[in-house]
Amino acid sequence: MLKATAAAGVTAFVGQTRGQDSTPASAGAAAPAAGPAPAASKPLEKFTPVVGMQIGALPLAKEDLDRLLETLRERGGINTLFVFAYGHVARWVPMAQQGFRGGNFAIPHMQYYKDTHFTYEDMRAPEFADVDILERTMKATRKHGFKTYALIEEADKEAVVPAWQELYEIDSHGRKQAAQPGGPCSNNPLYRGFTQGLAEDYLRSYGVDGFMWSSERQGGMTSAMGAWHHGGGSDPTKGTCFCEHCLKKAAALNIDAGRAKEGFAKLERFIRDGRARQRPRDGYFVSFFRLLLAYPELLQWESLWVNSRTQFMTDLRNRVKSVNPDTPVGFHVWHNASFSPFYRAEIDFTGMAKNADFIKPVLYNVSAGERMTSFVNSVGRTIFGDIPQPEILQMLYAMFDYKELPFEKVGAAGFSTDYIAREVQRTLDDIGPAKVPVYAGLDIDIPGAGAKYTPESVKQSVMAAFNSGARGVIFARNYAEMKPANLGGVRAALDELGLS
């Protein structure tokens, strides 16, 4: 059973129909877009897809799990849970952030945390008294034939527990950055020890079926630029990481940290002036590129960050494989890869596939419109500040090969399902001969999405993902946010595709 998911994902790739039909199988259900007309759906080769649900500790601690799992299967065809079993962010539980502490919602087995300074009290979440949510969940999922994956999420908020302070990044001004765009440092041995220990604990103590690691962050330069959705109001002085471990690594690579800091200071001014609409004499983009020519250390620092994260992911997977080589480890890829050409360049699926058992690109089409316009609004005042925002959007569409609605419409309408199809195909093309399966991350009822979710929009997104070659779908962000009726769209799609 442990092997079944990964093995099905790999062997079923041979001879599949992906790529034969260049027109996406469905387009424009969630939002009527300018994409190509829907093509007739071809029958899919029969396989057992991963139909995953991201779910937090509250329902797993409190609800009747027999009933919950039966409902998820009946209504949504769900067969795999992705459990937020550890976390400092209340919205994934979900609970109110005020007074929330969080931590491990399972029982920490301290023999796996020898490479950290955490005590049992530092780690154990107090929210559900003596309930061990993983024990409770595994018992129920085994009984009902579900798989259980641990979703290890890098928190975007500061932990209340003081012991976490030592894990956080340091910005170019020497200040700790615990929350987005900062966070724990990939080069910090305590953070590496904690994450790997957590995975080993969940695997040895509970026998979880797999892991998905998620980090929604990028390097210090792109963070300082505010180059992410909703990044327009971000503080440009928070470029990271200059902690002792990163400085040591940089020195070994002959990267000049002093020059990098100078570059960050110049970049901060550029971003601030842009947002204040003070146009540089030679224009925004030229001035930005001139800054890179003067301070190539900015790019070196970005590259150092990206490579350190890749190493972190490789080492995490290797730790899991050292315990059980058959346990799949995959990676959630931040939605920013759909908006920012800079972050898109940082996500190399060809390289990632060499160290992954599955890849989950976030392809939340309904919320993508609002998020994309917020990205344009951020870079439209700085690096692309010479170009009207509707034209920046068209430029990004051209860069990414998207066929979506214009600026004034896309925020309220969302992206079409053609976007899902294109991105699944692009991911598979980049993965290439590694044949790592793609599980499309799909959105249901994300608050503030801009566009509306309906059972039909959910159905069409699932159809688009499978018809373009995905071997699984994972629903996000969190089960607790979703309306039961909209989950019904999943079942309808699976039935129509013959994948039930």
Q: How far is CA 241 from CA 173, 232, 334, in A?
A: 10, 21, 20
Q: Which of 55, 68, 198, 246 binds Zn ion (CB under 5 A)?
A: 246
Write down how long the chain is.
500
C-alpha 48: how far from chain center: 24
- Region from 78-86, 118-126, 217-225, 242-250 binding Zn ion, contact rule CB under 5 A: 242-250
Pair of tokens at residue 83: 């459990």
- Which distant-in-sequence residues (6+ apart) come within 8 Å of 14 by Cβ? none
Burial code of 349-366, b = ≥16 C-beta within 10 A, e = fewer? beebbebbbbbbbbbbbb
**For Zn ion, the closer CB: 240 or 486:** 240
Minimum CB separation of residue 153 from Zn ion in Å reads: 19
Report the site for Zn ion in 108-137 (rule: CB under 5 A): none
Q: Which residue has the tokens 């992954």?
A: 356
Cβ burial, residue 48 (10 Å; 0-12/13-18/19+) = middle
Give the nearest distance from C-beta 194 to Zn ion in angstroms: 15
Tell me: does residue 392 bind Zn ion (CB under 5 A). Answer: no
Number of residues that bind Zn ion (CB under 5 A): 5
Angle between helices 455-467 and 417-431 (to 10 degrees): 30
Q: Which of 27, 65, 81, 243 binds Zn ion (CB under 5 A)?
A: 243
Looking at the Cβ atoms of 117 and 143, the one nearer to Zn ion is 117
How far, in Å, CA of 473 to CA of 202, rounded? Answer: 23
CB 112, min distance to Zn ion, A: 23
Least distance in angstroms from the C-beta of 186 to Zn ion: 7
Nearest to 214 by CA among 490, 480, 486, 474: 474
- Least separation in angstroms between residue 86's CB and Zn ion is 21
Which C-beta is closer to Zn ion: that of 102 or that of 239? 239
Smallest gap, in angstroms, from Cβ of residue 120 to Zn ion? 27
Nearer to Zn ion, 308 or 365 (CB): 308
The tokens for 66 are 């027999």
Q: Is 241 in the site for Zn ion (CB under 5 A)?
A: yes
User: Minimal distance in Å, beta carbon 246 to Zn ion?
Assistant: 3
Tell me the per-residue interface mask from 347 to 386 with Zn ion, x by CB under 5 A, - otherwise.
Answer: ----------------------------------------
Q: What is the tally of helices (H) and strands (E) in the chain?
A: 19, 12
Stretch of 172-180, 244-252, 275-283, 340-348 contacting Zn ion, by CB under 5 A: 244-252
Q: Assess contact for 26 and 41: CB atoms under 8 A.
A: yes
Choice between 53 and 304, CB closer to Zn ion: 304
Nearer to Zn ion, 61 or 243 (CB): 243
**Which listed range, 241-249, 280-288, 448-456, 468-476, lies at the site for Zn ion (CB under 5 A)?**
241-249
Cβ closest to Zn ion, residue 171 vs residue 430: 171
What's CA 80's distance to the chain center, in Å? 18
125 vs 298 by CB, closer to Zn ion? 298
**Window 168-207: contact mask with Zn ion (x via CB under 5 A):** -----------------x-x--------------------
* Helix, strand, coil share of the chain (percent; to 5): 50, 10, 40
The 3-state DSSP class for residue 28 equals coil
- Does residue 93 bind Zn ion (CB under 5 A)? no
How far is CA 280 from its chain centroid?
A: 35
Least gap, CB of 178 to Zn ion (angstroms): 13
Which lies closer to Zn ion via its Cβ, residue 301 or residue 402?
A: 301
Closer residue to Zn ion (CB): 170 or 473 = 170
Nearer to Zn ion, 183 or 231 (CB): 183
Query: Which residues on neighbouring strands pair with residue 170, listed in sequence order?
Result: 176
Distance in angstroms (rounded) separating the CA atoms of residues 375 and 338: 10
Q: Both ends of the chain: CA-CA distance in Å?
A: 19
Taking the complex as a whole, the smallest distance from the CB of residue 152 to Zn ion amounts, in Å, to: 19
CB nearer to Zn ion: pick between 243 and 383 = 243
Residue 396 sits at the vertex; the CA angle it makes with 432 and 289, to the nearest 5 degrees, is 100
* Backbone phi and psi for residue 15, each to the nearest 5 degrees, phi listed first: 80, 15
Phi, psi of 404 (to 5 degrees): -120, 175
User: In angstroms, what is the minimal distance from the CB of 288 to Zn ion?
Assistant: 25
Q: Which stretch binds Zn ion (CB under 5 A): 127-135, 234-242, 326-334, 456-464?
A: 234-242
Which x/- pattern over 411-430 shows residues binding Zn ion (rule: CB under 5 A)? Answer: --------------------
**Smallest separation, CB 159 to Zn ion (Å):** 17
Alpha-helical (H) ranges within 132-188 are: 133-144
**Which residues in this chain contact Zn ion in the complex, by CB under 5 A?**
185, 187, 241, 243, 246
